[in-house]
Structure 1
Amino acid sequence: MKVPVSADAARIRRSIRSGEWSSHTSGLAPDHLQGNVVILPRALAGDFSRYCQMNPKPCPLLAVSEPGVPALPTLGTDIDIRSDVPRYRVWRRGELVEERTDITDLWSDELVTFVLGCSFTFEHALLQAGLRLRHVEQGKNVSMYRTNIETEPAGPFRGPLVVSMRPLPASDASLAIEVTSRFPQAHGAPVHLGEPALIGIRDLRWPDYGDAVDVLPGEVPVFWACGVTPQAALAQARPELCITHSPGAMLITDLKHPGVEHG
């Protein structure tokens, strides 16, 4: 099933919950905040909250649930975190063991949900500013890479910064910085422009997550902090159980991002 890009957030979540949509969410509900998801046992919630506070660029906190409560009322009506993400990743002791579209049978009273800001939120603003985004035009997931930049540790959580990359004409880079700096809840301004090797990326043709896109002559790769960063930290922390979104498959909230008129 193809979900219309312009469909409202609640309609898209219903399509996800029913299993009709299980792909990435780039370009969907473009005026709504999207969120990365991390679900952890409550014993680790305090440390992970501190990790987010110490690394606000890759981990801007939008919401934290009560233990065992699948609803997120500050992000939208009728959100059920057990079924409203297109694809989940299940981690056990730091190892990715499966991907699935529903986690209801894994849910327990001990689990706490964290929702972090996502760069898909500012893509609508970039498009409105007249910038072209190749992965959106090609219907692909954004390219994401692990870097050699270390995040600030908190408890057992530590690891490299993960970035998302969008190629832009060099003349558009300053506009992209200006636009995205207005979205601190969605990673804000880029962390790097230009030579990928300077941040430890060997080959843009082989992203660690998402899909590769070409960087054409006259373009520069522009890198933003990415909400997949916690997945690298989870591999270090090795919790008995952790559940995250699959890269690019986000929770779509009812919240409008800044600059969008509220009806």
Structure 2
Amino acid sequence: MHLNVVPARTGLAWARQGVRIFWRQPVALTALFILFLACLSMAALVPVIGFLVVLCLMPAATLGLMAASRDAEAGKRARPSALFSAFRAGPAYARQMLLLGALYAGCFIVMLGISALIDGGQFARAYVSGNRSPAEMFQVPAVQAAMWLTLLMYMPLSMLFWHAPALVYWYRISPLKSVFFSFIACIRNLRAFSVYALAWVGIFLLWSVAVGTFTTLLLLTGLLGDSGSALALSVTAGMITISALALAAMFFNSLYFTFVDCFVHPVPDAPAAEPAAA
């Protein structure tokens, strides 16, 4: 396994591949993403520590979506069981992936703790609780500063863990080493990842424009006005929700291709028998 440095235009190819692989199995991959959200939502319901449980499971869950993308790329059907690939591979893999998740959770908590030094923890409490906070709170300069600082700190955090689950699962690399190699891979391919990010920003903007145009047309035709039917409103809301889920699924599908191109050695067909210790 060796690091590969790719040209900037590869970032656009990653986004295209995510969209392309989604349309091979749109129903299965959308359903899998909904299952991904449902599992994390149920984990969040755990009393007191629900937020930490979600953070600990995030690497394993993300790996599951990458495994599904790999299956779809190979012409196999993306099955719900792919989401649990890290745990189905055996106790050793489950332990290493949970250790990686604990490392991610620890880094995330430290990040929120640093932001709390600015606003006394208002933004951190709102983020952890998941409750809708009053808009007035985000007008407070200290809260705004904490929010932007958190966003700024999350960029290097995401680079640390971007490839880490796949490195642990497919290449037997320990959690600590996988975090290091993930960060180096992202830094060395920063131009490609910048193009990749811009591509997805463009895709989401196009989707927003399409949704806005569609809704405006319905309003102009009176289907969503006072005289419009409740059925038309429900159908429109459903279409917007499904398209948003599909778009998010496309993004997660593309993660696998960012991993494959950043490392020269071919991805094994199955995880190795025993991952490396931390």
| Structure number with bigger Rg | 2
- Higher relative contact order structure (alpha carbons within 8 Å, sequence separation ≥ 6): 2
How high is the TM-score relative to the length of structure 2? 0.26
The TM-score normalised by the length of structure 1 is 0.27
Q: Which has the higher helix share?
A: 2
